[in-house]
Amino acid sequence: MFQLPMPLDRDQSLIRIRFTSFAVGTICCPLFGFLFCVVWSLFFNFTETTATHCGVPNYLPSISAAIGGETPQRYVWRIAIGLHSAPRLLVAILYWKYYLGSPCAHHWYRTLCHINFTLTVMENSCLIILTYVSSTENFVYTLFAFLEYLVVLSNMAFHMTAYWDFSNKELIVSSVLEDKRF
């Protein structure tokens, strides 16, 4: 097993990141991926990404043509969404534990916490399906993912509230010290 060198501080943390930096970095993954795809399409695939069936001239590519039509853009977009999805699942778990730990005497509270967590995981899963499964490959899965994603689209703005809710928190990756006896 590979052992990482331990830092010299007392809490034995390997990585320490402010949650606000973590949230902004997570949000920037699809933004930078999208901007790269549009700029790359404009410079290197302008005719392919702006072409229409009816022959109307376009000056900018459509979003679907920019992120999924040509080879380098498709992979950059998929990597950006993949990097974006894992932290979103972490934030969903963080919110779930945060809400379950909040004091509330209402009898529906825990059920609503579980429903919120389930919808968040479903939204993230459908974003991944929309990104990695092409509509030409499997239309049924893509249609389901698109319809479900439209229903919970407002949830994406809700995730940015984590920036304010957990602004004084840090993400710490640490190693638990074990009491070894030989």
Which carries the bigger pLDDT value, residue 4 or residue 75?
A: 75
| pLDDT for the residue 55 | 77
Long-range CB contacts for residues 71-75, cutoff 8 Å, separation at least 24: 72/40, 73/36, 73/37, 73/40, 73/41, 73/45
Q: What would the pLDDT profile of 141-167 be if each residue is shown by its tens digit? A: 667 667 666 655 555 556 666 677 777
- Per-residue pLDDT, averaged over 131-141, amounts to 72
Q: Is residue 85's pLDDT more than 80?
A: yes
Tell me the CA distances in angstroms from 181 to 10, 177, 178, one per residue in order. Answer: 22, 13, 9
Contact 30, 84 (CB under 8 A): yes
